[in-house]
């Protein structure tokens, strides 16, 4: 009996859960992004790029909403822009459906590259509102392939306020 009590006391910390922290900011890879327009999506090291010379690749990149009552603190997405004609463009969106209606509401911020750059660039976002029944995602456009090469989406992150 004494050994059972000691074993229970030693093991008890293993059963105590710690709260999840929304502000920890999770990184996601672009391979989880869904292409909804364009047919040139390809993968390399879990990054995506557009091989089409005729179509812009449009994607939505989802993220987990950890906290029901919290808003977005910040976010970023890494991109490479090898198009001399068009910029890589991404919009961070916080969306919710208005229950009992046919509409939804969004908060959003758009960022874009400023011309061709073969290096990875980070597009940074500040805080956005959110609803308890909402979700977050980036909606991005990757330019057509040019003689300079293809444009890319890489790692992305959304951090919530705690």
Q: From 62, 141, 124, 122, select the one nearest 95 (Cα to Cα).
A: 62
pTM flag (> 0.95): no
* Residue 17 reports pLDDT greater than 50: no
Q: How many CB atoms lie within 10 A of CB 132?
A: 10
Stated as kind and residue range, the H or E segment containing 153 is strand 152-160
155 Cβ neighbours under 8 A, 6+ residues apart: 27, 28, 29, 30, 47, 77, 78
The predicted pLDDT at position 2 comes to 53
All structural domains of the chain with their residue ranges? 24-160
Q: From 111, 113, 112, 108, select the one nearest 127 (Cα to Cα).
A: 108
**Token pair belonging to 107:** 């908060």
User: Does 5 or 64 have the greater pLDDT score?
Assistant: 64
Mean pLDDT of 34-63: 94
Concatenating the DSSP letter of every residue in 8-55 gives: HHHHGGGG------GGG-EEE-GGGPEEEE-S-EEEETTEEEE--SS-
Tens-digit pLDDT profile for residues 54-104: 999 999 999 988 877 788 999 999 999 999 999 999 999 999 999 999 999
* Residue 158 reports pLDDT greater than 70: yes
Q: From 86, 69, 76, 66, select the one nearest 23 (Cα to Cα).
A: 66
* Mean pLDDT of the chain, nearest integer: 86
pLDDT band at 16; cut points 50, 70, 90: very low
Thinking of the domain 24-160, which architecture would CATH place it in?
A: Sandwich (2.60)
The predicted pLDDT at position 23 comes to 52
Tens-digit pLDDT profile for residues 104-153: 999 999 999 999 999 999 999 999 998 888 899 999 999 999 999 999 99
């Amino acid at each position: 009996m004494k050994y059972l009590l000691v074993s229970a006391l030693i093991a008890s910390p293993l059963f105590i859960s710690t709260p999840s922290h929304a502000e920890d900011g999770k990184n996601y890879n672009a391979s989880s992004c869904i292409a909804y327009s364009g047919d040139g999506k390809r993968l390399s090291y879990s990054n995506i790029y557009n091989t089409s010379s005729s179509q812009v690749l449009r994607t939505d990149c989802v993220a987990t909403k950890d906290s029901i009552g919290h808003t977005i603190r910040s976010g970023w997405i890494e991109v490479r822009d090898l198009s001399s004609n068009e910029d890589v463009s991404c919009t961070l969106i916080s969306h919710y459906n208005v229950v009992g209606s046919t509409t939804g509401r969004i908060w959003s911020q758009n960022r874009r590259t400023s011309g061709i750059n073969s290096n990875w660039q980070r597009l940074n976002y500040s805080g956005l509102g959110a609803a308890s029944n909402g979700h977050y995602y980036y909606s991005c456009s990757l330019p057509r392939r040019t003689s300079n090469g293809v444009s890319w989406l890489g790692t992305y992150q959304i951090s919530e306020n705690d």
